[in-house]
A = this chain, B = another copy of it.
């Protein structure tokens, strides 16, 4: 049995059961425990699944909400490093757009280094934090999306049309060679796209776990922005570099 075949079987089982035990995979594939462990590890590196003690579970668990406090702390250091690097791109007296999302939020503490900044954001959470750091902030009007606490809708679109930013910093739910940058909500995607259009330069912040993830709405091609992320596997990094400019932190 080929490697690809085995991994296909594993992913199929996951689609059906959401969780699969390593032991159950042995008779299904005829491979040894060691081999299957290696398969699970490979698949986890591509973020196709999540390893758990005794087996694996779907990477995008149907039951869980996107805000996982468990995982948020796992990627804490990466996000901090990404946030610091992103904030380092900002210059004094610039006007910048900050998207919603936790990764973006990690930029904020490092922004106080810069003087006379004006921040425009569509995120209520970011706004609150910016106020805590006493950074001049403007919110365009909009309808509040309760799940992400981001502002969306036609009012937001119309307002953004009249603005111009030096730099825009966006979050993403996934990025991949084929599909570019994607996010679940088309309304949020529209705002990201527009923010890019109204900005001289765009950065997308994403920890490497979002690599190979694809959501419903594409908001940009890889080459349209500079990706700021933590260390990707050597091979992947090489592939991506042909399509986009990457800043790898750490």
Contact = CB atoms under 8 A, between A and B. Distances in A.
Interface of A: 2-5, 8, 11-12, 19, 21, 46-47, 52-55, 57, 63, 68-70, 124-125, 127-128, 130-132, 134-147, 149, 151, 155, 159
A159 B124 CA distance: 18
A242 B67 CA distance: 48
Given A127-B124, A146-B134, A149-B128, A21 B2 contact: yes
A128 B131 contact: no
A91 to B, nearest CB: 22
Minimum-distance CB pairs A-B, first 4: A141-B141, A137-B144, A131-B146, A140-B141
A159 B139 contact: no
Contacts of A12: 63
A97 B202 CA distance: 36
Nearest to A15: B63
Given A128-B128, A137-B146, A139-B142, 17 more contacts: A2-B19, A2-B54, A3-B52, A3-B54, A4-B19, A8-B63, A11-B63, A46-B68, A124-B131, A128-B149, A131-B147, A137-B144, A138-B144, A140-B141, A141-B141, A141-B142, A141-B159
